[in-house]
Structure 1
Amino acid sequence: MLQDGKLFIGASRNPDDSINRPEYLDLKFGNRHGLITGATGTGKTVTLQILAEAFSNAGVPVFCSDIKGDLSGIAAMGEPKDFLLKRAEQIGLSPYDFQEFPVIFWDLYGEKGHRVRATIAEMGPLLLARLMNATEAQEGVLNIAFKIADEGGLPLLDLKDLQAMLNYMGEHAGEISNQFGFVSKSSVGSLQRGLLVLEQQGAEHFFGEPALKISDIMRVTNDGRGAISVLAADKLMMNPRLYATFLLWLLSELFEELPEVGDPDKPKLVFFFDEAHLLFADAPKVLIERVEQVVRLIRSKGVGVYFVTQNPLDVPETVLAQLGNRVQHALRAYTPREQKAVKTAADTFRPNPAFDCATVITTLGTGEALVSTLEGKGAPSMVERTLIRPPASRLGPVTEEERKKVIAVSPVAEMYDEDFDRESAYEILAARAKQAADQEAAKRQPEEKQQQGEDDSAAGRWTLPGFGNDRNDDAGPAPRKRTSGYQRETVVEAAMKSVARTVASQVGRALVRGILGSLRR
């Protein structure tokens, strides 16, 4: 429901549980970012769904992740279920109309949507280091690899390009160290092993071409509704680091490519970052600073970022301070950390004298939340206990057949489904290596020809230098040469000579004995 440039979220309740007033999110503050938090099963996904529906109807494209498959139902017509009709009646939503929304399904693996790819060069060394859990030294090697690739005209598009570049650096570590700083073969080897792990985890499906065009997630239909891009993330969540890195890359691309628009009447795109804790868990300081920078500045590009997570403590304070629109579902408060999360969540709201936030957070029912949005000149509204409106689209996943039909009629059908492997660093380095090998072989060719001639002159027989007959049997008589007197002989000739020497020796000894005997007499 859109009323005077405002998105209908639900209706607030009085302390006696009677309905107070409708709650809205002002469309012109949609790019001021937001936070949706709450324990598992409290209604975060439905809140995400109804906000995506509202932004779409307002002509704002949406990008969101489908962690469990439930969000895919936004592509199908809603169904009149009893509890949905009851909620619509409670909050005064009349008429409660059902509708389906323009959805584009995406999937890094190409199984449940159009393939999503990015090139290694677009990802950059910082995000790659995060993806590979690289050390500071290894990140330095990655930076050098990108530097060499840029200066050498070596496009880094997919994993095999980066692998070829690392192989090259390992083979020429000495020369590279002299020019760019120390590059150890152990760091190169660790990065190569890291690439192998990424490949086994399916990252090779993500890196390559055709790369995703930002314009394809910012489409508006002919009837003026914003397209909702839904990323199938159920399989992707098996590699949470890849999931978080991909979404951060997409945010960075939006930040780099989109022009400044100031404060538009409505956002150019709304980006929902589900399971946001994965982005910040064990993240190095430089990465958190990058996220803070992107979130702070991307607002002026007309992009609203909404973090969805279980606990407000999952988001660093520097980022949390920039999230103006808040929807807080129920939290548990059994452990000290949970109690701290409840207090943190309560302290971030503008207080309402009608109730205590910290107490109410632990008693909220499913589909109920504390809501505070920006109003007036951008100040947060007083927090209200709110019943979230029911969705207009299907609550639950689409069937496989329904998904295939949506994919078939998608505006990006067949644009991303085939791989394209153009000449890049892998092919260029392989060609250079072959050229160098051919040049080395050409240098050795005269020596090999000379050696081949010597082999032919000896009729294939092995001789030592300076011994034996070196002439070619077919070349006619050769000039006489002085020899050491040694001639090659056959086995029979050698045996006969040995026998002759033995006989001569025995005869000689007999003659000597005869002569000596005659002298004694």
Structure 2
Amino acid sequence: MPFTNSFIFGADPAGQPVSQSLRLANRHGLVAGATGTGKTVTLQRLAELFSDAGVAVFAADIKGDLCGLGAAGNPQGKIAERVASMPWLNYQAKAYPVTLWDIHGQSGHPLRTTLSEMGPLLLSNLLELTDSQQAALYAAFQVADREGLLLLDLKDLKALLNHLKDHPEALGEDRALFTGGSAQALLRRLATLEQQGAEALFGEPALQLEDLLHPDTDGRGRIHLLDASRLVHEAPKVYATFLLWLLAELFEQLPERGDADKPVLALFFDEAHLLFSGTPKALQERLEQVVRLIRSKGVGVYFVTQSPSDLPDDVLAQLGLRIQHGLRAFTAKEQKSLRAVADGFRPNPAIDTLAVLTELGIGEALVGTLEEKGTPAMVQRVAIAPPQSRIGALSPAERGDLMRQSPLVGRYDKPIDRESAYEILLARTMSGQASDKTEAASDKPGGGLGEMAGDFLGGLAGQAMKTAMRQAANQLGRQLVRGLMGSLLGSSKRR
């Protein structure tokens, strides 16, 4: 299908379309505004524009209504009036190719990653660790790398922490970084994480980035929506850390593309303030670096939040597209912030930017785009074009239909629990227990019965008896660990 080389956000007061070149869409952007001013509908419109251009989209569905992208629109009332006022829009009500995701696997495909892929820096942020606890976690990850212990899910990490607590010699030179107190603190933080339902995030099959980038059969980019309606309220740190991981993975895995006609992926980070709230300085600096460099990989990052002040200045300075919906200013602090927002646009002699910010109606915005040379264009007052998909949520039945029609059906739905740190360390524990039992039995009167039987039967029967004893000890040991020691080595439940 033919794709245009620009996308149109809406119309200026004269009714003329306002657009930006698609090749500049990897310069990132911001959609901001007070609650109820139309940010979600603007996000929906942008997702459609990217999809029509063949660009994949990943967005978080915070309120549960962005999934309306999967159904055709039915404009009525003021929406129909706005469509009629934009004859150049060529409005066609249609559904878009949507893939639904849910960390808990209830309203979309399960979305997982592994602890090894996330790494200790992001995991420390997720667990909100102190410096000493973070050092202990880094030491544990180094042991896992050195000994080839895969850390796939939380039970793997718990097993490793307990193993190092009981066998500190395995830490080598890092032994001083890992104390019993730090191990207990890490285990408590992991227990809290499980109570928040974050256990479902870690495991296999883990998300494969190529599944996000694969286009639909008609050439449109697929729109991937993470159902975060519960997650952002119950476990906001999990939500933010996952998005940071996704951004980091894209930066690490995607090849350099240079100046291309269009990006390969547009990422929309709703409730963007959560990405930076309470983030350690080292991680924030890393995030700012990734945002600056990832555009060369063909990824456009779009932050959605209430106020631009929710983002660090170093991030704001890198944004090309700015869509600012209405703001309210009732206090002196809010008025100061309002002036800062107005000063962030290139002035337009025809617009009093500061005054317009408080006058904008629902679905209106001040828009700052980039000119063809990449320089900021003058700010314009824009009526945002309505999306061609449904404005509003899908019903549970409609969501079910989308999941059944998904090209990823069966790929992520069934969890896999392959051999990893938990199983390897459990086997070591059982082997040690079996050896201890055998040695203890040989020290007792009559304990040499196996050797006597071996001599009597030429050695063959004695070896068979030892094997049987070892198997029995292993079986008994597994039952003991699963029953009595499960809390120490991690949950024995196999997902």
Alignment partners' CA distance in 2, 1:412 and 1:357: 46
CA displacement 1:98-131 (0-9 Å, x = unmatched): 1110000000011110000000101110111111
Distance 1:94 1:176, change over 3 A: closer
Q: Which residue of 2 aligns with 1:226?
A: 221
Alignment partners' CA distance in 2, 1:386 and 1:215: 36
User: 1:241 and 2:214 equivalent?
Assistant: no
User: 1:322 and 2:323 equivalent?
Assistant: no
Alignment partners' CA distance in 1, 2:170 and 2:45: 58
Alignment partners' CA distance in 1, 2:27 and 2:62: 24
Alignment partners' CA distance in 2, 1:136 and 1:167: 20
Q: Which residue of 1 aligns with 2:455?
A: none
Contact (CA 8 Å) 1:8, 1:25: kept in 2 or not? yes
Q: Which residue of 1 aligns with 2:350?
A: 354
Alignment partners' CA distance in 1, 2:285 and 2:156: 29
How far the C-alpha of 1:331 sits from its partner, in A, is: 0.7
User: 1:345 and 2:337 equivalent?
Assistant: no
Matches within 5 A, 1:165-204: 165-173=160-168, 176=171, 178-204=173-199
Distance 1:358 1:35, change over 3 A: same
How far the C-alpha of 1:234 sits from its partner, in A, is: 0.5
How far the C-alpha of 1:159 sits from its partner, in A, is: 0.3
Structure 1 residue identity aligned to 2:349: P
Q: Which residue of 1 aligns with 2:112?
A: 117
Alignment partners' CA distance in 1, 2:388 and 2:135: 50
Structure 2 residue identity aligned to 1:308: V
Picking from 289, 293, 298, the partner of 1:297 is 293
* Structure showing greater Rg: 1
How far the C-alpha of 1:206 sits from its partner, in A, is: 0.7
Q: Which residue of 2 aligns with 1:379?
A: 375
Distance 1:450 1:31, change over 3 A: same
Q: Which residue of 2 aligns with 1:472?
A: none
Picking from 445, 448, 473, the partner of 2:441 is 445
How far the C-alpha of 1:293 sits from its partner, in A, is: 1.1
Q: Which residue of 1 aligns with 2:53?
A: 58
Contact (CA 8 Å) 1:91, 1:387: kept in 2 or not? no
Picking from 62, 86, 105, the partner of 1:91 is 86
Matches within 5 A, 1:135-174: 135-173=130-168
Alignment partners' CA distance in 2, 1:136 and 1:427: 30
Report SS of the residue matched to 2:87: coil
Structure 2 residue identity aligned to 1:47: T
User: 1:306 and 2:336 equivalent?
Assistant: no
Alignment partners' CA distance in 2, 1:86 and 1:268: 34
Contact (CA 8 Å) 2:209, 2:250: kept in 1 or not? yes
User: 1:71 and 2:89 equivalent?
Assistant: no
TM, length-normalised to structure 1 = 0.84
How far the C-alpha of 1:134 sits from its partner, in A, is: 0.5
Picking from 388, 395, 398, the partner of 1:399 is 395
How far the C-alpha of 1:287 sits from its partner, in A, is: 1.2
How far the C-alpha of 1:439 sits from its partner, in A, is: 2.0
Contact (CA 8 Å) 1:350, 1:382: kept in 2 or not? yes
How far the C-alpha of 1:442 sits from its partner, in A, is: 2.6
User: 1:10 and 2:10 equivalent?
Assistant: yes
Greater shift after overlay, 303-312 or 342-351?
A: 342-351
Contact (CA 8 Å) 2:368, 2:377: kept in 1 or not? yes
Picking from 319, 329, 332, the partner of 1:336 is 332
Contact (CA 8 Å) 1:219, 1:226: kept in 2 or not? yes
Distance 1:424 1:174, change over 3 A: closer
Structure 2 residue identity aligned to 1:172: H
Contact (CA 8 Å) 1:173, 1:185: kept in 2 or not? no
Contact (CA 8 Å) 2:21, 2:372: kept in 1 or not? no
Contact (CA 8 Å) 1:177, 1:183: kept in 2 or not? no
Alignment partners' CA distance in 1, 2:212 and 2:226: 11
Alignment partners' CA distance in 2, 1:223 and 1:196: 46
How far the C-alpha of 1:368 sits from its partner, in A, is: 0.3
Structure 2 residue identity aligned to 1:414: G
Distance 1:94 1:251, change over 3 A: closer
Greater shift after overlay, 334-343 or 34-43?
A: 334-343
Unaligned runs of 5+ in 1: 14-18, 454-521
CA displacement 1:282-332 (0-9 Å, x = unmatched): 111011111101101110100000000001110000111111110000111
Unaligned runs of 5+ in 2: 450-495
How far the C-alpha of 1:182 sits from its partner, in A, is: 2.7
How far the C-alpha of 1:21 sits from its partner, in A, is: 2.2
Picking from 422, 427, 436, the partner of 2:423 is 427
CA displacement 1:437-459 (0-9 Å, x = unmatched): 22222332321235899xxxxxx
Alignment partners' CA distance in 2, 1:176 and 1:94: 64
Contact (CA 8 Å) 2:236, 2:274: kept in 1 or not? yes
Contact (CA 8 Å) 1:331, 1:338: kept in 2 or not? no
Distance 1:73 1:311, change over 3 A: same
Contact (CA 8 Å) 2:169, 2:175: kept in 1 or not? no
User: 1:100 and 2:95 equivalent?
Assistant: yes
Q: Which residue of 2 aligns with 1:133?
A: 128
Alignment partners' CA distance in 2, 1:93 and 1:75: 24
Contact (CA 8 Å) 2:3, 2:53: kept in 1 or not? no
Q: Which residue of 2 aligns with 1:80?
A: 75
Report SS of the residue matched to 2:444: helix
Structure 2 residue identity aligned to 1:232: D
Structure 2 residue identity aligned to 1:55: F
Report SS of the residue matched to 1:165: helix
Alignment partners' CA distance in 2, 1:123 and 1:337: 38
RMSD: 1.7
TM, length-normalised to structure 2 = 0.88
Structure 1 residue identity aligned to 2:60: S
Aligned sequence identity (%): 52
Alignment partners' CA distance in 1, 2:4 and 2:156: 52
How far the C-alpha of 1:391 sits from its partner, in A, is: 0.8
Picking from 384, 388, 394, the partner of 1:388 is 384
Matches within 5 A, 1:453-464: none
Alignment partners' CA distance in 2, 1:336 and 1:145: 49
Aligned residues: 448
Contact (CA 8 Å) 2:24, 2:370: kept in 1 or not? yes
Alignment partners' CA distance in 1, 2:3 and 2:223: 21
Distance 1:127 1:231, change over 3 A: same
Structure 1 residue identity aligned to 2:410: E
How far the C-alpha of 1:201 sits from its partner, in A, is: 0.7
How far the C-alpha of 1:164 sits from its partner, in A, is: 0.4
Contact (CA 8 Å) 2:288, 2:315: kept in 1 or not? yes
Distance 1:95 1:262, change over 3 A: closer
Report SS of the residue matched to 1:380: coil
Structure 2 residue identity aligned to 1:214: L
Contact (CA 8 Å) 1:272, 1:305: kept in 2 or not? yes
Q: Which residue of 2 aligns with 1:270?
A: 266
Report SS of the residue matched to 1:307: strand
Greater shift after overlay, 439-448 or 369-378?
A: 439-448
Contact (CA 8 Å) 1:351, 1:383: kept in 2 or not? yes
